[in-house]
Amino acid sequence: MVVNTASFCGYTGQYADLQAVWAAYRDRGLVVVGVPSNDFGHQEPGTAAQIKEFCQVNFAIDFPMADKEIVKGAAAHPFYAWARETLGERAAPKWNFHKYLLDQDGNLVAWFPTSIRPNAPRVTDILDDLLAPKS
């Protein structure tokens, strides 16, 4: 799961949900990667060290956090440009805490807008399918 994050967003509480999903699924193979971005409302102004401290102190985050990146427009990080090209403009982030799910082979399989919490059943149902033991 790749999620663009922002420390001073009204959706910042989703950090706790991301941590819960990470804790529940990491032993089954899930990796959650937070990607701080200042693209929406300038709600991630800090340095990497400040962002890490904020996440640890306020939400006890221990899932991986990338460096701060641009996630929209022509200068978007290559992952976000690829996701937009692969899934279409509709699937591009419109705000902070936009989520992408990838399968074990690196294929994009779903995206969820900011309003869908990372522990919502529509997300965890897909995680359960993706991470089910192979027979």
What's the pLDDT score for residue 121? 98
Residue 59, both tokens: 């939400």
Question: 2-130 in CATH: which number?
Answer: 3.40.30.10
Is residue 4 part of the annotated active site? The answer reads no
Do residues 1 and 33 make contact, with C-beta atoms less than 8 angstroms apart?
yes
Which of 38, 58, 96, 119 is catalytic? The answer is: 58
Provide block-wise average pLDDT over 10 residues at a time, the chain (135 residues): 97 97 97 98 94 95 96 97 96 98 96 98 97 85
What's the pLDDT score for residue 130? 95
Which residues are CB-neighbours of 31 under 8 A, at least 6 positions away?
1, 63, 64
CB-count burial class (<10 Å; 0-12, 13-18, 19+) for 117: buried
Domain extents in the chain = 2-130
Q: Please tell me the pTM assigned to this model.
A: 0.96
What's the pLDDT score for residue 134? 81
Do residues 73 and 82 make contact, with C-beta atoms less than 8 angstroms apart?
no
Strand order across the beta sheet in which 99-102 lies:
33-36, 2-5, 99-102, 108-112
What's the pLDDT score for residue 135? 72
Q: Which one-letter amino acid corresponds to residue 119?
A: N
